[in-house]
Structure formats: C-alpha cells, structure tokens
C-alpha cells in the first residue's frame, strides 16, 4: 500500500509564502483576509522563529501618527522587521502618505524589512499597485477545523463525533473563518440545534453556513432538507455519488485522489433530476447553491458574463459546495451556432463557464440538469467537464413502487395497507412527478368526500393522469435514443432486479431455470397480469414471434380476435393480425413505453399458415417499402435494436378489410 501523506497545513504554507517573499526582497505585501486575529497570531509565532521583529500599527491606537511613522521608516529603516498596518488602505489614499511609503520601501528592502498591509478586500492607491504583491490568506484547513470541532464538542458537553461524521462536519465547515466554524460546530452539537435540524449535526452546520454567506439575486442557498430516501430507485446514481463523497475526504486528498468535478443529469421531465441534485448535496455533505441560469442574462453588453463570474466567485468562496445548475439549456442554449439575438453573449458565457470548470481551484461539485440535450454545446458534454453523464428515464416498476411508498408516507398513509404492485403496474409510463400528483389528487378527493382514501381511489387517480410519455412521445424517444449510447443509466436494468427478486423469494436463479409451480411468466399470466407475463416471456426466450407469444399465452387469456397491429407512422405496414382487442392494446402499450421493442425478422421464422394474408416485406434497411398494404415480419424483444427507425416505436390498432 502506498504511503499516505499528511494533509497540507494551509495556514503554515501561507505564512511560509509571506516570509519567502520578504526574504526575496518584497517590501510591500497586501495580506487579504477577514481573519485578522488568527493571522496576527500566526505571523507573530513565525516571526519569532525566523528571527524577525513584528511591529503592529493601528489607527485606533492612542496618539497614532501615520505620517510620523512613515517618515521614521524612510529615514531610519529598521532591520529584519515586519511593520503590520491594519486597515491602512483608506489612510493611504492621502497622496502625502502614499508618497512617504513609496520612498520608504527601497530603504526597507535593503534592511530585509517589509510593510504588511492587512485588510479584507481593500484596494490600494494606484501609485502603490506596482510596488505591492497581494497574498490571499486562505481559510482554515482541515487540521485547524478538527481542533475547533474538538473544542466545540467539549464546550457543548457532548462526545466527539465518530471519525466518519467528524470528517463530513469538517468538510462542511470549510470556507468559514475559524470563529464562524467554532460557533457553527458548537451550535450544531448543542441539544437545541440538533432538535431543530432533526438531530442532524451535519445539516445544522450546513444550515449555519448558509446563514453566514450571501449570493445576491443569482444564487440561492439551500439547506440539506432532502433525505436520500426521498429519491425512489436510481441505485446506480446513488452508489456513484456515495463513492464521490469519499473522494472529498482529507485522506483521499493525501493519497493524490483528484476531487470529483460533477455530474450532468439528463432525462425526462418530472423524473427527479432536480430532486436528485438536492439529494447529491446531502450525500456529499456540502451546502447546496442553486444558480439561476436564466437570470444570468442581462441587456447591457458584458453584464451577463460579469454576472456569471461573480456568481462563480461567490460559490468558490464558500467551497466545498455543490453548485446546482438547473435546466442548463435555458442559459446556454443558442451557443451551437444556430443564431439568435443573444448568440454572442451566450457564447461568451459558455466560454467563461468552461474555463472555470476546467481550472476551478476550489472543491466545487457541479450538479447540472438538462431536459433538451440537443440544445447544449458539445464542449459542455465532454468528459473532463463532468465526471459522468447520467440518464434518468421514466421509473421502472420497482422504482414506481418506491416513489408511491414515499408519497403515500408524506400523505399520512401507511404504504403497507395498499397493493403497491398493482398501483405501480397502473402507473406504467408515468413519471415520478405524475405519480406524486396522482397521490395528491386522490388524497384531496377523499378528504372532500369525507372518507379515507382507498386502493381504488389511488388507482383511479393514476389512470386519469395523462402522462408526459404520451403527450411528448416523440421527444422522449429521441432523448432515449441519444442517451442510450452516450450516458450511463441512473437505474439498474429492471430485468436484473426481477431476477434478484426471484432469488430472494427462493425461485429460479439461473437463466432458463423454472421456479416451483412453472415458469414465472406462466404464474403471472395465470394471475391475470398479462402485461407482466408478456415481458417476462420475451425476456426468458430472448424474444419471440407473434405466433410463439400467442401460443404461450392462449391458455391464460383471450389473445385472438379481429384486430391487427400496424406501424402508426405507416398504417399500411401490418406487423400482425387476428388479435384480441385487449391483448393488442397491451402489446401497443408495451412497445410505446419502451418495455418491448420490434426487431425486423424474416418471414421464414413464422410457421406456415399463420402470417397475415398480405404481401410480405422484409425490412433490411435498404429496400423501399411498398405503397400498398403489406406485412412486416417482426420479432418482439425486451432489448432495443441499435439504429432502429423511429417508426417501429409506435403502433396503431386497425381492422383489416375483408375481401
């Protein structure tokens, strides 16, 4: 195992930099800090060890005469002495004082002495800028904050948090002054604060940090209000975030592990991208700062980029933090060269953001969300800007159960009193937001009627909700196709989850192995769950033709009838006929919800006498389809076909004319 280096001592490094500059001949240093007392103590200790004298001057001292002091420095410069002037910027605006200081600087340098101007964001007169070097004194490092946490625990009369929690508390407090961190720790570990924040010291520290900083109109500081359980499913994404949280520890930094950069969440509207961004802050244990991307734009030329730079500087000042860029395309769409009134401003803003993302010195984890990926400039999507791109699709059957469970609890209901499997099945194709709204609708209706909500009420509310997957079907299909090979799924394959569920219940655990009582698809079909039986049958067989599917399910449900299924984009392209109306509707719904996919097949794969009585056209991707009615042989599978034409994603139920 490689040796683990000790975490850097930021204070000691900064003090060493000051003395290195003095020894190199710098005679005027501007020390930018808001922690005057901490740095005076550090410089005093270091001066004694380095053999320097430290003289402190303050305008608040009785009888202080700056002109007299400056003349004395010029005429009789002391040897190896640091003259520390506190908040002297306004006094140096006087031309006489500025001139005296400039004349004294060469004499001081010759004696190995220097003037240290300590202030916070105080500009120098223009006449002194060329003679000065600015040193930004950093906020306290992990070692100092851990000392403050230990002292705060003792003051609050509580035990020191365990190592894991202590590391997260220290990380959460980084960016604060030592005084502010000490107060935040003491407040977080006290009984009253723990009660206010649900017994969560980490949330208390982050909330206190949020109160101590301000980001103007562009930044909105959020507390750690969402728990990890608030997001149903998305196990791949949650696991990925938990690993990145460990990479922010001082131990990881000491091992040379680079700090994670961020994640881009792409997906269907209403599927939890924004909620996941808030949960990411909880997992990482950092304050959440939301940047209003749309509000960056300003009418004055150059102001939009200035707004962005100021916002990013404010976030870096309180790092580590999670920067939430919600609906990224609203602020950065248009930089793809397609024109528009704000084209040049958007291009400049994009360049500013990309430069900051590439070179950011502070540990800021960027969580960006987007609905319209095609509107984003390609340079935003490459690896290195973000660590990973995740696609958040419509929830699968297991995630829908998790989502329903969360919102039933929020509505004061006991989820165990309801059949979540049935409700999840009813909610096929619904987003998390749509399921949440359906639960709310059922609760309101039941309250209005003066009764308690029932299974029937929730099922009816879900059935009456028209999902976005229907109203925006083409856009969702295009997004899925783009993300299929370019983004990582936030959710494990539902078939893997189904297999794990079988193992848990003691059923078959290997490909093709049947559980007691027959195959899983047969038990589902016998129980009336035809849609689930179809997908289970296709998954177990690696796909099937219509005759095979009909033959398998005919003992359990009506499957034959007067209807045919055709491509909605070309109703003359019939894929099968002689289907029961309900069965045909189930197949169409499964195809349109992307749980079943159509793969072109050969006519020879079908038993003689079974195909529709139409001319067969085998789609090889090259020949043109006939103009008249024809049969398109297909095979049904649960995996998508690479490069599939969009016309195979939607089906229409039709009746063939009798001849």
CA angle in degrees (0–180, nearest 5) for 489-491-495:
110
Model confidence, pTM = 0.60
- The per-residue pLDDT for 510 is 39
Bridge-partner residues for 288, per DSSP? 222, 322
Bridge-partner residues for 195, per DSSP? none
CB atoms within 10 A of CB 13: 11
Phi-psi region of 402 (alpha: psi -120 to 50; beta: other; left: phi over 0): alpha
Tell me 585's DSSP state: H
Query: What is the percentage of the chain residues whose pLDDT exceeds 90?
Result: 23
- The per-residue pLDDT for 224 is 67
Taking each helix axis from N to C end, the angle separating 66-75 and 95-110, rounded to the nearest 10 degrees, works out to 30
Give φ, ψ of 420 to 5 degrees.
-70, -30
Helical spans, DSSP H, in 465-579: 468-471, 473-484, 494-504, 520-526, 530-541, 546-553
Tokens of 40: 């005076």
CA angle in degrees (0–180, nearest 5) for 229-234-238:
70
- Whether the CB-CB separation of 389 and 341 falls below 8 Å is answered with no
Q: Mean of the pLDDT values across residues 15-35?
A: 91
pLDDT in tens, 617-644: 988 777 788 888 999 999 999 888 877 7
Tell me the C-alpha distance between 192 and 197, whole Å: 9
Query: What is the percentage of the chain residues whose pLDDT exceeds 70?
Result: 88
Task: Tell me the pLDDT band of 195, cut-offs 50, 70 and 90.
Answer: very low
Tell me 544's DSSP state: B
Tell me 51's DSSP state: T
Spatial neighbors of 286 by CB under 8 A, at least 6 apart, are 171, 172, 206, 248, 320, 321, 322, 365
Tell me the C-alpha distance between 7 and 425, whole Å: 52
pLDDT higher than 70, residue 3: no
Tell me the C-alpha distance between 580 and 589, whole Å: 14
pLDDT in tens, 343-378: 777 788 888 888 888 887 678 899 988 888 777 888
Give φ, ψ of 291 to 5 degrees.
-95, 120
Tell me the C-alpha distance between 84 and 99, whole Å: 18
Tell me the C-alpha distance between 621 and 220, whole Å: 51
pLDDT in tens, 246-282: 888 777 877 888 888 899 998 888 888 888 888 888 8
């Amino acid at each position: 195992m490689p040796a683990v280096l000790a975490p850097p001592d930021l204070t000691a490094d900064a003090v060493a930099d000051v003395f290195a500059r003095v020894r190199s001949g710098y005679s005027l240093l501007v020390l930018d800090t808001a922690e005057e007392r901490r740095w005076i103590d550090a410089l005093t200790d270091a001066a004694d060890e380095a053999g320097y004298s430290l003289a402190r001057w303050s305008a608040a001292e009785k009888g202080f005469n700056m002109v007299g002091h400056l003349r004395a420095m010029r005429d009789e410069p002391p040897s190896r002495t640091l003259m520390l002037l506190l908040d002297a910027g306004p006094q140096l605006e006087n031309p006489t004082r500025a001139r005296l200081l400039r004349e004294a600087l060469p004499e001081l340098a010759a004696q190995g002495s220097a003037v240290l101007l300590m202030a916070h964001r105080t500009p120098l007169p223009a006449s002194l800028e060329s003679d000065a070097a600015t040193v930004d004194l950093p906020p306290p490092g992990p070692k100092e904050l851990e000392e403050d946490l230990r002292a705060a625990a003792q003051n609050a009369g509580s035990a020191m948090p365990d190592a894991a929690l202590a590391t997260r508390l220290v990380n959460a407090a980084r960016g604060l002054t030592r005084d502010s961190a000490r107060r935040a720790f003491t407040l977080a570990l006290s009984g009253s604060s723990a009660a206010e924040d649900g017994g969560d010291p980490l949330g208390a520290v982050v909330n206190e940090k949020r109160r101590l900083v301000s980001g103007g109109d562009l930044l909105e500081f959020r507390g750690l209000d969402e728990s990890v359980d608030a997001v149903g499913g998305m196990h791949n994404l949650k696991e990925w975030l938990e690993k990145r949280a460990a990479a922010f520890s001082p131990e990881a930094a000491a091992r040379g592990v680079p700090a994670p950069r961020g994640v881009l969440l792409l997906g269907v509207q209403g599927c939890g991208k924004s909620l996941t961004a808030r949960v990411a802050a909880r997992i990482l244990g950092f304050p959440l700062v939301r940047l209003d991307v749309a509000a960056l734009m300003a009418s004055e030329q150059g102001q939009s980029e200035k707004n962005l730079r100021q916002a990013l500087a404010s976030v870096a000042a309180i790092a580590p933090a999670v920067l939430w860029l919600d609906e990224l395309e609203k602020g950065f769409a248009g930089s793809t060269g397609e024109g528009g009134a704000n084209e040049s401003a958007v291009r400049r803003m994009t360049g500013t953001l990309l430069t900051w993302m590439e070179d950011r010195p502070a540990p800021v984890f960027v969580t960006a969300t987007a609905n319209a990926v095609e509107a984003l400039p390609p340079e935003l999507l490459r690896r290195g800007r973000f660590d990973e791109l995740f696609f958040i699709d419509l929830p699968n059957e297991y995630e829908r159960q998790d989502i329903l469970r969360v919102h039933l609890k929020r509505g004061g209901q006991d989820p165990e009193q309801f059949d979540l499997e049935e409700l999840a099945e009813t909610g096929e194709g619904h987003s998390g937001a749509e399921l949440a709204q359906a639960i709310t609708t059922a609760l309101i209706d039941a309250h209005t009627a003066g009764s308690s909500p029932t299974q029937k009420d929730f099922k009816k509310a879900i059935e009456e909700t028209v999902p976005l997957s229907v109203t925006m079907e083409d856009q969702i299909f295009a997004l899925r196709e783009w993300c299929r090979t370019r983004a990582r799924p936030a959710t494990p394959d539902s078939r893997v989850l189904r297999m794990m569920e079988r193992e848990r219940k003691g059923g078959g655990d290997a490909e093709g192995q049947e559980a007691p009582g027959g195959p899983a698809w047969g038990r589902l079909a016998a129980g009336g769950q035809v849609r689930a039986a179809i997908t289970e049958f296709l998954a177990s067989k690696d796909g099937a033709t219509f005759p095979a599917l009909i033959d398998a399910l005919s003992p359990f449900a009506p499957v034959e009838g007067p209807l045919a299924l055709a491509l909605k984009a070309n109703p003359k392209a019939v894929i099968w006929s002689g289907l029961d109306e309900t069965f045909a509707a189930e197949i169409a719904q499964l195809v349109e919800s992307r749980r079943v996919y159509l793969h072109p097949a050969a006519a020879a794969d079908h038993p003689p006498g079974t195909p529709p009585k139409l001319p067969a056209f085998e789609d090889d991707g090259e020949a043109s389809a006939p103009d008249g009615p024809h049969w398109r042989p297909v095979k049904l599978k649960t995996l998508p076909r690479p490069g599939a034409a969009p016309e195979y994603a939607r089906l229409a139920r039709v009746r063939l004319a009798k001849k």
